[in-house]
Amino acid sequence: MSEHAKLNYRQAKRGIHTERIFILNNKDDLSEIKEIMEEQEENNINVSYAFRSDLDKLLPYASFAISEEQTAGIISHREDSLGKVTITSNNEIITDLATKFDDIKRQAQTVKLASKIHQTNT
């Protein structure tokens, strides 16, 4: 388990709310990452996923994160280079990121829901 994952799990145990939406290219990606998503859900991180093709132009960046209090944002501009990021405290940018996150979240499917559906069908 990575140090990043351990830190996320410790924060979740302390009551810090974390939501993560995985943006996937296809169902093969879902199969490959399903175990990670379920582990995060088991560790009190709200996990969902969406397929890139369903999101039209909702994805302004390769990846982004917003602090719980919406005082800081981290933007990764390229998928192939997560080391090149912008860190901002600009309220306008953070508000825009929060709006984009909410738009994507409305189209995403929760991992918990998928697990319950699977359990019901077996």
Using alpha carbons, select from 65, 63, 56, 35 the residue that is nearest to residue 106.
Answer: 56
Domain count, the chain: 1
| One-letter amino acid for residue 69 of the chain | E
Quote the pTM value: 0.74
Joined together, the tokens standing for residue 111 give 């991992």
pLDDT digits (tens, 9 = 90+) for 8-54: 888 889 988 888 899 898 999 998 998 889 999 999 888 999 998 88
Range of the domain at 29: 3-121
Contact 21, 40 (CB under 8 A): no
- Distance CA(91)–CA(21), nearest Å, equals 22
